[in-house]
Amino acid sequence: MSDRAAPPYTRPWRILIPLLVGAAVAVALGVFGTVHEPAGEVPWQRPFPSLYAMKVWLSLGVLLLAAVQLGTALWIYGKLGLPTRRWLGPVHRTTGYLAFVVSLPVAAACLWAFGFESYDARVRTHGILGAMFYGAFVAKVLVLHSKRLPGWALPAVAGLLLATVVGAVASSALWYVASFGLPR
């Protein structure tokens, strides 16, 4: 065994820094949702006929973009057995940006109109996963731009991000569609 310290990029404990920053973002959103007095409506739901229609359709769009993100990430990292293409990186980045941007009016509507509600397990789970999504997003961006983390850090944090978005959409938009059908 060598007396030399491991190179800085192999110190796995460094993953705690982006995870703690992400956790702080998630907690801050949860606190805001708890202390904010829900308005019951938002002015930016147009052109959708209702707040629920806006949330469902935009959330389904985010889920579709997340699926593209997963597919392009697997392709980029050679997990699909397909040759890499030059357009994959730009498509992956663009769908990531779009997923984030499309999620913002949904999150803002949830926080502004409803706040952090906990009257049943599904709603509580949705609120927690929604806040965690933004924390995981911040952690992923920090990990993505770090040169000092182990190679497994990015796929791990990206997996956390994917899990939170799937959970948040499953506990809201997919639940709504299963219960009431697609909003008109």
pLDDT tens, position by position, 62-114:
999 999 999 999 999 999 999 999 999 999 999 999 999 999 999 999 999 88
Token digits for 94? 């663009």
Within-domain flag for 26? no
Instruction: Domain count for the chain, please give it.
Output: 1
Give just the sign of the alpha carbon dihedral 121, 124, 126, 131: negative
Within-domain flag for 34? no
Within-domain flag for 40? no
CA nearest neighbour of 68 among 101, 91, 35:
91
Tell me if the pTM is above 0.85: yes
Within-domain flag for 15? no
Token digits for 22? 């992400």
Boundaries of domain holding 76: 49-178
With 70 as the cut, is the pLDDT of residue 2 above it? no
Long-range contacts: 125-129, Cβ < 8 Å, 24+?
125/167, 125/171, 126/168, 126/171, 126/172, 127/30, 127/33, 128/30, 129/164, 129/167, 129/168, 129/171
Within-domain flag for 145? yes
Within-domain flag for 3? no
